[in-house]
């Protein structure tokens, strides 16, 4: 169960989204898989998340979304690019409608996990991405 060892990820809500349950459950799953999780919690602006990601030198940013504020996820991806930190992949999960999922992916979000996603799907994706990066 330690397939995630060596991977560092931020888990955060974005903007004024105050729904914490999803982010906390996912943090537990990722920690159980051996990853180092930096849980930022609520009231995090995209700017603050980018800053934390660079300071903490993470591999991924995971945004738990339950507030329909997708523009801020797009802003987060843009800011990462502008900060020369585009290597940090953004993934998100939560109540995000199908079309918005496609938009977010088109704008640089690596993957979107809908509600009901399994541990295997989430952990497997992250580990797979890191392996692919290392192999490249």
Q: Which residues bind other proteins (CB under 8 A)?
A: 15-21, 24-25, 28-29, 42-43, 45, 67-69, 71-72, 95-99, 114-116, 118-119
Q: Residue 86: which of 121, 133, 40 has the closest Cα?
A: 133
Beta bridge partners of 12: 41, 63
Residue 85 CB, shortest distance to other proteins, in Å, is 21
Residue 4 CB, shortest distance to other proteins, in Å, is 16
Q: The tokens of 68 are what? A: 């329909």
Q: Which CB sits closer to other proteins, 44 or 89?
A: 44
Q: Residue 62: which of 6, 12, 128, 121 has the closest Cα?
A: 12
3-state secondary structure of 111: strand
Q: Which CB sits closer to other proteins, 6 or 71?
A: 71
Residue 73 CB, shortest distance to other proteins, in Å, is 11
Residue 32 CB, shortest distance to other proteins, in Å, is 9
Q: Which CB sits closer to other proteins, 38 or 67?
A: 67
Q: How far apart are CA 40 and CA 42, in angstroms?
A: 7
């Amino acid at each position: 169960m330690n397939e995630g060892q060596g991977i560092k990820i931020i888990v955060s809500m974005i903007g004024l989204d105050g729904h914490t349950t999803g982010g906390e459950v996912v943090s537990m799953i990722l920690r159980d898989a051996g990853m180092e999780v930096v849980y930022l919690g609520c009231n995090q602006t995209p700017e603050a998340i980018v800053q934390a990601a660079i300071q903490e030198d993470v591999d991924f940013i995971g945004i738990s979304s339950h507030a329909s504020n997708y523009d801020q996820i797009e802003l987060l991806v843009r800011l990462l690019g502008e900060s020369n930190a585009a290597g940090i992949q953004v993934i998100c999960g939560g109540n995000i409608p199908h079309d918005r999922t496609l938009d977010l992916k088109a704008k640089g979000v690596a993957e979107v996990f809908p509600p009901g996603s399994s541990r295997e799907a989430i952990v497997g994706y992250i580990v797979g991405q890191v392996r692919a990066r290392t192999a490249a």
